[in-house]
Structure 1
């Protein structure tokens, strides 16, 4: 196993490969948007640690107080992403990255680590069965099957906010909340915008651009949340087929 890992810093942010699956040699709008988003987070204690290679092997986490998620808790880390894909799977990279996060939390005197999960594994969420091998337990749940997983060091537990559990909005049209943490979001939002304009479908595409807005969101959120007819649908990025299934409801 290659043990050459590096952390993204303000000094290397502009030059390092961000390893979120995208392999384009040309400037990619989503990657540049993520760089801009990260530039405002790194001084808040946000950690992006990756294999020093052009591979999808990385973990991304932040202090819960400054994590853009509607979760409350004192002195926790929140894990946004933990990904190992392709030929790098099965080599121990995932364990190494999780152990780094756990050790980092211990050294900084954190109360624990938490992450978004679900009763049934969902796409775009880190493997919760893997997390549970490290002792993560269900700290909170929503009525539609999402779970907040936590590894507590001191017995305290984080919680979803009351708003996050509401999972309702007054707006009945297609409504998507998003931020720029994921490099796939730019193209995804543009695709949905074009589809809705072409098919005369009213839609509200709402960019979350502050911590306060993220903490007040009316749904669980990792970087994306979809509502239709006032009801929460998913945190998963939509393709056209998925979007059409939602619009038929």
Structure 2
């Protein structure tokens, strides 16, 4: 790719804009949490490729073996996020970013590339219809409609870890698993904690802090998962209003 693209490295991580639509000149706790998370992941082969501008056009992926998701397989890349938003839309940047990932996979002798999807598109997951235009297909699925999409170069396919298909936990209280991979998560957690306290909603927030913990989660996970009454409700990041709807619907 040409000079309009930048790949994050340990050397430039502290200075580069992280692309999400968080506009502030002050230190933002979610952005700084993301930087800290990335600093540990870059050494594991994590790739963050972005437009050389303070805009939202980027892709993040990692070797599946070191990707913080309960997906297993050998020699694949896992796409966490491909997002083009705002002014960059309509310039073909999404296509260029996806093509760069697929090219990277072939150059490094990977068996293919995979990502999380669903029978019905989820707001906080990359556009699966866009991915299918490149040949991604559903290779595994959960009973409640989440799908693992993959583009295989050699006929092998990854799969959800057996524990990920449980989609259930023993605890009946609101339970949210999260990590620091997304800059929005810090504020989501703080807002929901305050909302639960104000409305006396029992809740537990479980921060995923290691690769082993992520691989062993009892649900599909891209950086966030919400349980209520012991069952997975969504991988979408939610606010207080959405939580109230979940409580009412499942109460």
TM-score band w.r.t. shorter chain: over 0.9
TM alignment of 1:97-246, pairs within 5 A:
97-246=97-246
The Cα shift of 1:23 comes to 1.3
**Gap runs ≥5 in structure 2:** none
Partner of 1:52: 52
Q: Partner of 1:218: helix, strand, or coil? A: coil
Matches within 5 A, 1:76-115: 76-115=76-115
**Shift in Å at residue 3 of structure 1?**
5.9
Q: Deviations over 1:87-108 (max 9, x none)?
A: 2112110010001000100010
Distance 1:245 1:158 in 2: 34
CA distance in 2, matches of 1:147, 1:89: 26
Count of equivalent residues: 248
> What CA deviation, in whole Å up to 9, does each residue of 1:46-77 have, x standing for no partner?
00000000100000000000000000000000
> Which consecutive aligned stretches of 4+ in structure 1 deviate over 4 angstroms post-superposition?
none
Equivalent in the alignment of 1:14? 14
d(CA) in 1 for partners of 2:197, 2:215: 30
TM-score (norm. length: structure 2): 0.97
Distance (whole Å) between structure 2 residues aligned to residue 244 and residue 31 of structure 1: 27
Is the partner of 1:40 in helix, strand or coil? helix
Report if the CA contact (8 A) 1:3-1:51 is conserved. Answer: no
Contact 1:175 1:206 in 2 (8 A): yes
Distance in 2 of aligned mates of 1:199 and 1:192: 10
Q: Superposition RMSD on alpha carbons, in Å?
A: 0.9
The alpha-carbon deviation at position 38 of structure 1 amounts to: 0.2
* 1:144, distance to aligned residue in structure 2 (A): 1.2
The Cα shift of 1:136 comes to 0.4
How far apart are the structure 1 equivalents of 2:122 and 2:90?
Answer: 20
TM-score (norm. length: structure 1): 0.98
